[in-house]
Amino acid sequence: MRYYIADCHFYHKNLLTEMDNRDFKSVEQMNEVMIEKWNKKVHARDEVVILGDLSLGNGKETNEILCRLKGRLCLIRGNHDERYLRDKDFDASRFEWIKDYAEIHDNKRKIVLMHYPVFCYNGQFRRGADGTPLTYMLHGHIHKSEDQVLVDRFCAETRAMMRKSAHQETAQPVPCQMINCFCMYSDYTPLTLEEWVECDQKRRGTADQSNTVLCALDMISDDFMSDDCNQWWHLE
């Protein structure tokens, strides 16, 4: 079995009170909970692709975390991994490979892997005869931030585009599949590709509903702020 996860940020204390506002009393508690959830899902022979920012600890601290995590581990390098990777006390042998970018296959589907979201990734237009996407772009980095909103908008607009390939008689929507494997989306648990697809669909559905409500409220607000509306509102 192969799993994916991004942005665990072991030892990153600031994420308890800033950006993520993770619901832990201490960084030690966060580390223990994430290790427990990881090992409850992953077995020794399973492969886990870490999509960057595993740890903010030093070499020794990160070695201790890696020794406790189950599975065969592979690392896509993130912007916060350099601290332990460059530490002379770090033992990189726990990773089967360390790369900045990779393309692999998972159950007959192509997977593009990078810490940062890749717009217009290799294979973005590919779909099967039944219309299912054949290529997925898995990433991390953006957490649950404003950048996530931008990525979601790009995906929605790209999926709305119609494209005809040389092997198709009619144009079809572009199957853009950019999935943020942020650990908080999966409750700090590594997930399979299928599980991430389902998780992403549920998250986007909730986000789309929220955006619809916000857009409606903005339109109502704009109407009531218009001159005509203000004149009507103040009629006696």
Q: Write out pLDDT tens, residues 143-174.
A: 999 999 999 999 999 999 988 766 667 888 89
pTM attached to this predicted model = 0.86
% helix, strand, coil for the chain, step of 5? 40, 20, 40
Question: Which residue would you say has higher pLDDT here, 106 or 215?
Answer: 106
Question: Could you list the residue range(s) of the whole structural domain that residue 77 is in?
Answer: 2-233
Name the token pair of 4. 């994916």
Distance of CA 221 to the CA centre of its chain: 33
Distance of CA 70 to the CA centre of its chain: 21
Looking at residue 172, its pLDDT comes to 85
Query: Which residues are CB-contacts of 81 (< 8 A; sequence separation ≥ 6)?
Result: 52, 53, 54, 55, 75
Q: Using the predicted structure, report yes or no on whether residue 221 has a pLDDT greater than 60.
A: no
Q: Report d(CA 173, CA 148) in Å as an integer.
A: 22
Looking at residue 218, its pLDDT comes to 47
Looking at residue 216, its pLDDT comes to 43
Percent of the chain past pLDDT 70, that is, above it, reads 86
Query: Which residues are CB-contacts of 107 (< 8 A; sequence separation ≥ 6)?
Result: 193
Across 112-132, average pLDDT: 92
Looking at residue 234, its pLDDT comes to 36
Task: Pick the closest to residue 78 from 103, 41, 101, 51 (CA basis).
Answer: 51
Q: What is the DSSP string of 142-201?
A: STTSHHHHHHHHHHHHHHT-EE--TT-SS-EE----EEE-BGGGGTT--B-HHHHHHHHH
- Count of structural domains within the chain: 1
Looking at residue 75, its pLDDT comes to 98
pLDDT digits (tens, 9 = 90+) for 224-233: 344 443 433 3
Looking at residue 208, its pLDDT comes to 55
Question: Which residue would you say has higher pLDDT here, 168 or 179?
Answer: 179
113 and 103 Cβ atoms separated by less than 8 Å: yes
Across the chain, mean pLDDT equals 88
CATH number at residue 122: 3.60.21.10
Show the 3-state SS of 207-227: HHHHHHHHHHHHHHHHHHHCH
pLDDT digits (tens, 9 = 90+) for 14-72: 999 999 999 999 999 999 999 999 999 999 999 999 999 999 999 999 999 999 999 99
Task: Pick the closest to residue 43 from 79, 7, 75, 73 (CA basis).
Answer: 73
With tokens 């296959």, the residue in question is: 105
Looking at residue 131, its pLDDT comes to 80
